[in-house]
Amino acid sequence: MLDLEKLGAFYLGKRYDIDTGNVLDETLLYESKDLTTHGVCVGMTGSGKTGLCLSLIEEAALDGIPVLAIDPKGDLGNLMLTFPDLKPEDFRPWVDENEAVRKGLDASAYARKTAETWKKGLAEWDQDGKRIKRLRDSAEVTIYTPGSTAGVPITVLRSFDAPPAAVAEDKEALNERIQSAVSGMLALLGVDGDPLRSREHILLSTILNCAWSAGRSLDLPALIRDVQNPPFDTVGVFDLESFYAPNDRLELAMRINNLIASPGFSTWLEGEPLDIGRMMFTDSGKPRIAVLSIAHLGESERMFFVTILLNELLTWMRGQPGTSSLRALLYMDEIFGFFPPTAEPPSKKPMLTLLKQARAYGVGVMLATQNPVDLDYKGLSNTGTWFIGRLQTERDKLRVLDGLEGASTTSGIAFDRRKTEATLSGLGSRVFLMNNVHDEEPVIFHTRWAMSYLRGPMTRSQIETLMANRKQTTTLKPPKNITPAPLMPRTETTAEMPKQPSKRAKLPASIDEFFVPMKEAVGDNRRLVYRPVIATTSRLHYVSAKAKLDTWIDMAFIAPVPQRRPVVDWKIATAIPGADLELNGEGRDDASFSKLPAPATLSKNYTQWKKELKSFLYQNRTLKILKCNELKTVSKPGEPEGEFRGRIGHLAHEKRDLEVEKIKKRYSKKLDTLRDRLRRAEDRIEREKAQYGQQKISTAISIGSTILGALMGRKLTSVGSATTAARGASRASRERGDIQRAIDEMEAQQEKLRAMEDDFQQSLEKMEEKLDPSALEFSEINVRPRKSDIVVHELGLAWTPWRVDADGIAEPLFNMNGGSGTC
Cβ atoms 594, 497 nearer than 8 A? yes
- At residue 480, the 3 state secondary structure works out as coil
- Report pLDDT for 697: 41
- Report pLDDT for 638: 79
User: Is the pLDDT score of 395 beyond 90?
Assistant: no
**Residue 263 burial (C-beta neighbours within 10 Å; 0-12, 13-18, 19+):** exposed
User: Is the pLDDT score of 809 beyond 90?
Assistant: no
- Report pLDDT for 364: 97
User: Is the pLDDT score of 658 beyond 80?
Assistant: yes
CA distances from 811 to 157, 214, 520, 594 (A): 19, 29, 10, 14
**Number of neighbouring beta carbons within 10 Å of residue 148:** 22
- Report pLDDT for 483: 36
- Output the CA torsion sign for 652, 654, 659, 661: positive
d(CA 184, CA 201): 10
- Among the ranges 165-179, 445-459, 524-538, 570-584, which has the highest mean pLDDT value? 445-459
Cβ atoms 325, 362 nearer than 8 A? yes
pLDDT digits (tens, 9 = 90+) for 546-601: 888 899 988 889 899 998 889 999 988 888 776 567 777 678 888 899 889 999 99
Mean pLDDT value across residues 160-174: 80
**Residue 595 burial (C-beta neighbours within 10 Å; 0-12, 13-18, 19+):** exposed
pLDDT digits (tens, 9 = 90+) for 600-643: 999 999 999 999 999 999 999 999 999 988 888 999 887 888 88
For residue 641, give the nearest of 144, 277, 136 by alpha carbon: 277
Mean pLDDT value across residues 490-497: 44
- Report pLDDT for 790: 94
- Report pLDDT for 731: 54
Question: Which residues in 437-469 are b (16+ Cβ under 10 Å) and which e?
Answer: beeeebbbbbbbbbbbbebeebebebbbebbee
- Among the ranges 290-294, 424-428, 488-492, which has the highest mean pLDDT value? 290-294
For residue 659, give the nearest of 499, 769, 742, 505 by alpha carbon: 769
pLDDT digits (tens, 9 = 90+) for 726-769: 444 455 556 666 677 777 777 777 787 778 777 777 777 777 77
What value does the mean pLDDT of the chain take?
83
pLDDT digits (tens, 9 = 90+) for 662-713: 877 777 777 777 777 777 777 777 776 676 555 444 433 333 333 333 333 3
d(CA 674, CA 356): 43
- Report pLDDT for 734: 61
Collect all residues with Cβ–Cβ distance below 8 Å to 554 and sequence separation of at least 6.
537, 538, 539, 540, 577, 578, 579
- Report pLDDT for 458: 93
Q: What percent of the chain has pLDDT over 70?
A: 87
Domain with CATH 1.10.287 in the chain: 641-777
Mean pLDDT value across residues 341-368: 92
pLDDT digits (tens, 9 = 90+) for 425-457: 889 999 999 999 888 888 999 999 999 999 999
Sheet hosting strand 431-436, strand order edge to edge: 22-31, 9-17, 443-447, 431-436, 385-388, 39-42, 363-369, 328-332, 67-71, 288-293, 140-144
- Output the CA torsion sign for 814, 815, 819, 822: negative
Question: Which residues in 639-671 are b (16+ Cβ under 10 Å) and which e?
Answer: bbbbbbbbbbbbbbbbbbbebbeebeeebeeee
d(CA 560, CA 535): 9
Least confidently predicted of 210-224, 271-285, 786-800: 210-224
User: Is the pLDDT score of 489 beyond 90?
Assistant: no
- Report pLDDT for 244: 93
Cβ atoms 453, 111 nearer than 8 A? no
- At residue 529, the 3 state secondary structure works out as strand
pLDDT digits (tens, 9 = 90+) for 190-223: 887 778 888 999 999 999 999 888 878 887 888 8
pLDDT digits (tens, 9 = 90+) for 9-31: 899 999 999 989 999 988 999 99
| CATH assignment, 641-777 | 1.10.287
Q: What is the pTM of this model?
A: 0.77
- Report pLDDT for 713: 38
CATH ID of 1-152+274-477, from 3.30.450.70, 3.40.640.10, 3.40.50.300, 1.10.10.60? 3.40.50.300
Cβ atoms 344, 379 nearer than 8 A? no
Domain with CATH 3.40.50.300 in the chain: 1-152+274-477
